[in-house]
Amino acid sequence: MKGNKESVIKEELVGLWRLVSFEAAGPGGVIVHPFGTDAVGYITYEANGFVSMHLSAKDRPLSSAANMLQASPKEKESMAESCLSYCGSYEIIDDKVHHHVEVCTFPNYVGKILIRDYRVKDNVLQLSSRPETSGGAEGIKAVWERVDHLRE
Selection from 82, 91, 84 nearest residue 142 by Cα:
84
**Burial environment of residue 100 by CB neighbours within 10 A (0 to 12, 13 to 18, 19 or more):** middle
Q: How confident is the model at residue 72 (pLDDT cuts 50, 70, 90)?
A: confident
Strand ranges in 28-112 using DSSP code E only, listed in sequence order: 31-32, 40-45, 50-56, 83-93, 96-104
Q: Which domains does the chain have, with CATH numbers?
A: 2-147 (2.40.128.280)
Q: Report helix, strand or coil for 11.
A: helix
CA distance 52 to 108: 17
Question: Does this model's pTM top 0.95?
Answer: no
Going by pLDDT thresholds of 50, 70 and 90, the confidence category of residue 44 is very high
